[in-house]
Chain A
Amino acid sequence: MIITIKYFGLIAEVTNQSEESIDFSGRLISDLLNTLYAKYPDLKNKDFQVAQNQELVSESTEITGQELALLPPFSGG
């Protein structure tokens, strides 16, 4: 399945892009994260949440959607 992943804030700096599409056959969000950690080792030390089809999900959620997003917290004001 082709999924699109959007990256926000610091995460986009780690992946060096704000969006990418990958062909992914894993089942869970955690499987996807492991793939991304292998591709972007620096991602492991970052804090972020994952959204699937515009809804925040946990690592044990099944991948059902075609649009995911990695969202870090911002502190600036």
Chain B
Amino acid sequence: MSRHNRHIILSEIGQLGQDKLTNAKVLVVGAGGLGCPILQYLAAAGIGTLGIIDFDVVEISNLQRQVLFGTSSLGKNKAEAAKTRLEDLNSEISVIAYAEKLTYQNALELFNNYDIIVDGSDNFETRYLVNDACIITNKPLVFGAIYKFEGQVSVFNYQNGPSYRCLFPNPPQKDAVPNCSEIGVLGVLPGIIGSMQANEVIKIILGIGNVLSGKLLCYNALTSQPSTLKINKSAKQIELVLKGKDNFNKKQLEIDCEFQSDISIKDFLFKDNVQFIDVREAHEQPKVEGLEITQIPLNQLENNLDSIDLSKQKMIFCQSGIRSKQAVSLLRNSGILNCYSIKEGALEIIDFINSRHCEESR
């Protein structure tokens, strides 16, 4: 009995269809919550060449939803760890792991080697990079994205259909939409959405059914209700991307999601070699006392970079934790590393310092 027998005995697939799967080359961007189920089903289905690009390593908090990994994968690169698991799942396919970040410099060359690109990334900058690279290399893009209990699925750039920019022309303002590491996600949700993405990939390769092109499927796991919205193509948006084709590989990624930028005062109050920076306006109360603090209002930060102590870890705070985040991205964009946003506001920081002092004097 052959491995793919249950496909082959379906009249809609047959040996001919299975051969199409064997000859297909699919690249999955990101081996996280979405990437794991996508890769698992594509490998099991016998996609002949499966590429995985991910720079990140497996952490224990990933295991709640990233089902390709186990305790033995902790600390390993996700693309490599996924490859190990997938080769065990299906030894008849070729799995290629790219343990690196997808960038404007490597995207076009990489995409050219594949027939279909699947987006399982976790940030807007990569999503727009993937979309634009798919337009330039003329590859269909199987898109999926999640937020808490809700997911979106679509197929872009398929047979002259709309692209992601036809739906959302530009990325939202920075930090406007939090990601999973900040807000949490129902573990099974990426399993559902990623499986839907794998299904679209297989339909495209086999040429059966209706591909989810020109439509956005929205799924709510709490109500189990799907709704499908029609997306119209915007020739203008696609032309804009094509116009930027020659400068594409000169662009730079701005985000730096390789380390967590949000931290709690509880973890850092008594560490050495720290510069605390208050980015509130001078008149804002209450003042934080008992710590050495550099005061630079957010709107003057850019002109006061020389007040930043490059030899120290920068802990930035404000009234509520929002401006401090903006300050971190501003500093990072200026090439200053080791900047963290304290998620607590000034009042909570003071409360924490006071409670620690009480404990010490007891």
Contact = CB atoms under 8 A, between A and B. Distances in A.
Nearest to B164: A73
A28 interface: no
A71 B179 CA distance: 17
A76 B147 contact: yes
Contacts of B168: 47, 49, 73
B228 A10 contact: no
Nearest to A45: B176
Contacts of B119: 77
Contact of A74 (B173, B177, B232): B177
Contacts of B146: 74, 76-77
Contacts of B123: 75
A74 B147 contact: yes
Interface string B220-259: 1001000111111000000000000000000000000000
Nearest to A75: B124
A1 interface: no
Given A10-B147, A47-B176, A71-B218, A76 B229 contact: no
A74 B120 CA distance: 12
A69 B146 CA distance: 18
Contacts of A9: 147-148, 150
Given A74-B151, A74-B177, A47 B172 contact: yes
A-side interface size class: 20 to 34
B34 interface: yes
A5 interface: no
Given A9-B150, A46-B176, A47-B177, A73 B227 contact: no
A51 B229 CA distance: 7
Output the residue of A45, A49, A55, A74 with the most chain B CB within 10 A: A74
B172 A76 contact: no
A72 B172 CA distance: 9
B35 interface: yes
Nearest to B181: A76
A10 B177 contact: yes
A54 interface: yes
Contacts of B227: 6, 54, 69
Contacts of B180: 76-77
A18 B149 CA distance: 12
B184 to A, nearest CB: 10
Interface string A55-77: 11000000000000101111111
Given A9-B150, A75-B127, A77-B122, A54 B230 contact: yes
B301 interface: no
Interface in B146-178: 146-148, 150-152, 167-168, 171-173, 176-177
B353 interface: no
Nearest to B119: A77
Given A47-B168, A56-B232, A73 B218 contact: no
A57 B180 CA distance: 29
Interface in A26-48: 45-47
4 smallest CB-CB distances across A and B, nearest first, come from: A77-B122, A47-B172, A74-B145, A74-B147
